[in-house]
Structure 1
Amino acid sequence: MKNSTFIAELHTKLGAPSSEAVESLRLLKAFLKLAPGQRIEVIEMVERLNAESRSETDLPLS
């Protein structure tokens, strides 16, 4: 996206992206550069971490 007019028009219509959106796009770009086997490993790791996080928050507070 080297066309500054196009970028300016997008900025006017959509506003500035949040830092979270920019970081998400960077992570997606890096993810897509991985080999398919590495992508599967990353997905499995994220799912495992998510499951562990949920199990910790589901514990009773007492």
Structure 2
Amino acid sequence: MKNPTFIAELHTKLGAPSSEAVESLRLLKAFLQLAPGQRIEVIEMVERLTSESHPETDRPLS
């Protein structure tokens, strides 16, 4: 996506992405670069952290 014309057209149509959207895409890119076993570990850790902060739901996110 280094084509300045394409980027300018997207910016005109969609506006500037929020910083949260940009950070989410960076995290997704990093997640996809992990080995499958590491991805599972990350998912399990996030589910554990989520269940600790929201004890009313004891079902996994996935």
- TM-score, structure 1 length as denominator? 0.88
Aligned residue for 1:36?
36
Gaps of 5+ in 1: none
Higher relative contact order (CA 8 A, sep 6+): 2
Greater C-alpha radius of gyration: 1
1:50 is displaced (CA, Å) by 0.3
Amino acid at match of 2:27: L
Give the RMSD, CA atoms, in angstroms. Answer: 0.8
Indicate the percent of aligned positions where both proteins have the same amino acid: 88
- TM-score, structure 2 length as denominator? 0.88
Counting only pairs closer than 5 Å after superposition, residues 38-57 of structure 1 correspond to structure 2 as 38-55=38-55
The superposition leaves residues 8-61 of structure 1 with CA deviations (integer Å, 9 ceiling, x where unpaired) of 000000000000000000000000000000000000000000000002xx5xxx
**Greater per-residue helix proportion:** 1
Amino acid at match of 2:20: E
Gaps of 5+ in 2: 57-62
